[in-house]
Amino acid sequence: MTAFRIAHHAASPAPTPKAKAVKSKGYLAFLHELPCAVSGVYGVEAAHLSMAAPKYGHWGRGKGSKAPDRWALPLSPAEHARQHNIGEEAFWRAAGINPHVLALTIFGLWSDMGDDAQPFAAAIVNQHLAASNRLRERDSL
């Protein structure tokens, strides 16, 4: 019987890619139609994730650059400012949201369905809000 050895580097993620961040005005416009991922209010900004998560294919961002638009999430101006004030990791942990999974989910819906994905993406955001008891009442939307 022959034994096989798995190379150590096979389990480690590849080094940070050098490709330029992909930008999509269409996707960012789509995000602006969604509720805030943390508060549920409308009138959002596209907040790009900077923190790396190689297991999701996000290696962070280079100095002086933004992450690709696939890593943007809808945040109200107030929540976006709070995210910058307390730090990304603490902000998302306090919200009880895995931002990488949410970003990939919303981007995947848009990639598959274009602007027709808006009600589905809004429903995903609302499911996250409901799970953390932050879903807004219909009258307050």
Residues of the chain with pLDDT > 70: what percent? 78
How does pLDDT run across 64-111, given as a tens digit for each residue? 667 889 999 999 999 999 999 999 999 999 999 999 999 999 999 999
For 33, the token pair is 């139609």
Q: Does position 128 have pLDDT exceeding 80, yes or no?
A: yes
Read off the pTM. 0.80
One-letter amino acid of 25: K
Helix (H, G, I), strand (E, B) or coil at 7: coil
Is residue 35 very low, low, confident or very high in pLDDT (cuts 50, 70, 90)? very high
Amino acid of residue 90: A
pLDDT at 141 over 70: no
pLDDT at 78: 98
Bridge partners of 46, per DSSP, are 74
Instruction: Write out pLDDT tens, residues 8-27.
Output: 555 555 555 555 556 778 99
- At a CB cut-off of 8 Å and minimum separation 6, what does 15 contact? none
Decide if 59 contacts 16 (C-beta within 8 A). yes
- Residue 101 DSSP SS3: helix
Mean pLDDT of the 40-66 span:
86
Whole-number Å distance between alpha carbons of 26 and 132: 30
Residue 4 has pLDDT above 50, yes or no: yes
Q: Where are the chain's structural domains?
A: 30-51+67-133
